[in-house]
Structure 1
Amino acid sequence: MAPLYAPTGKSYKRFQPHSFAPTRCNWGFDHRGCAIRVTGHGNGAHLEVRLAGADANACPAFTTYVAAMAHGIEGKADGAACS
């Protein structure tokens, strides 16, 4: 999936520690270093998947996100594949 999220060689330069780009498969609330984060409160709460860079094509990246989520839900993934 990485070639869809980071399509050019320069895309990988953002994946460095302390850059606010996600370097691990994790999630959290209002944490900019997480790959998936929940922001906002109440009706304004939303989910952000932050793996793809600005240079990624949105349609293939979104399709890959949805396919990965469906695979995890159907297979009852426990998150061990991320570590």
Structure 2
Amino acid sequence: MSGISLNLPEDLSNSLADLAKTNGQSASYLAMDVLRDYIEHEKALTTQIELAVKEADQGKFATDERVAAMRARR
């Protein structure tokens, strides 16, 4: 495992330490866990965006009716 050093604002550092203590974890472990989740989320989002752009480039768009139906469900 390789190391990394971060300079965090004091409030964020304190929040991280408090949450880690509450969960019985080290701040390093909690930060690693949060970073892992964030990176996986961003990778999935990027993949979805790339697919949407590819489909748009192919002329695949939702019809006005489909968009209206999706809005109506919300």
Compute the TM-score of the two structures, normalised by the length of structure 2. 0.30
Which structure is higher in strand share? 1
Which structure is higher in helix share? 2
